[in-house]
């Protein structure tokens, strides 16, 4: 028996008992039975909505799985296949690690007192200082050129 059916049963019992709804007790029981009826309808609506949402989510999940399968089929590479197809000696622009754009750019590294290692280029070196992204301390430096 659902909640709505139970509320309807209580309303039927109240009507069958010929409860005097003019007395204080009768008014209260009638109000409680009406409240239970409204709550039963509301709960049924919520259950129906939840089932509909669940069905929609299941469909979305199936669609996402299909999209994932499609994408994985498109990009289904083994590392061995990739290594065979790509020969880094033929590509002049290939470098291990990060690509900084200009091949002639020298990358410098400094360690802050907080332990953060910061990479910077010659332009930053010429400015003479850099701010640590971790602790916010300004690190100053100067360039001394060798005569050699």
pLDDT at 72: 87
pLDDT at 77: 54
pLDDT at 20: 86
CA distance 103 to 37: 77
The candidate with the shortest Cα–Cα distance to 41, out of 95, 4, 79, is 4
Whether residue 118 contacts residue 112, with contact meaning beta carbons closer than 8 Å, is answered with yes
pTM of the model: 0.41
Whether residue 111 contacts residue 119, with contact meaning beta carbons closer than 8 Å, is answered with no
Residue 37 burial (10 A CB sphere; 0-12, 13-18, 19+):
middle
Residue owning tokens 């640590």: 132
Question: So where are the chain's domains?
Answer: 3-74
pLDDT at 42: 94
What tens digit of pLDDT does each residue of 55-109 get?
Answer: 999 999 999 999 999 888 866 554 445 555 555 445 444 444 445 455 567 788 8
Residue-averaged pLDDT of the chain? 80
pLDDT at 47: 94
């Amino acid at each position: 028996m659902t909640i709505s059916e139970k509320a309807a049963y209580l309303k039927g019992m109240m009507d069958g008992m010929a409860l005097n709804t003019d007395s204080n007790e009768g008014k209260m029981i009638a109000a409680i039975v009406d409240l239970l009826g409204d709550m039963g309808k509301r709960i049924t609506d919520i259950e129906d909505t939840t089932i509909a949402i669940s069905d929609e989510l299941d469909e979305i999940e199936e669609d996402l799985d299909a999209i994932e399968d499609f994408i994985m089929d498109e990009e289904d590479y083994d590392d061995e296949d990739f290594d065979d197809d790509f020969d880094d000696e033929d590509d002049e622009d290939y470098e291990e690690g990060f690509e900084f754009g200009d091949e002639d750019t020298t990358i410098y590294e400094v360690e802050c007192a907080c332990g953060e290692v910061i990479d910077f280029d010659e332009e930053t070196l010429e400015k003479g200082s850099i701010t640590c992204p971790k602790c916010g301390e300004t690190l100053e430096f100067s360039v001394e050129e060798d005569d050699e």
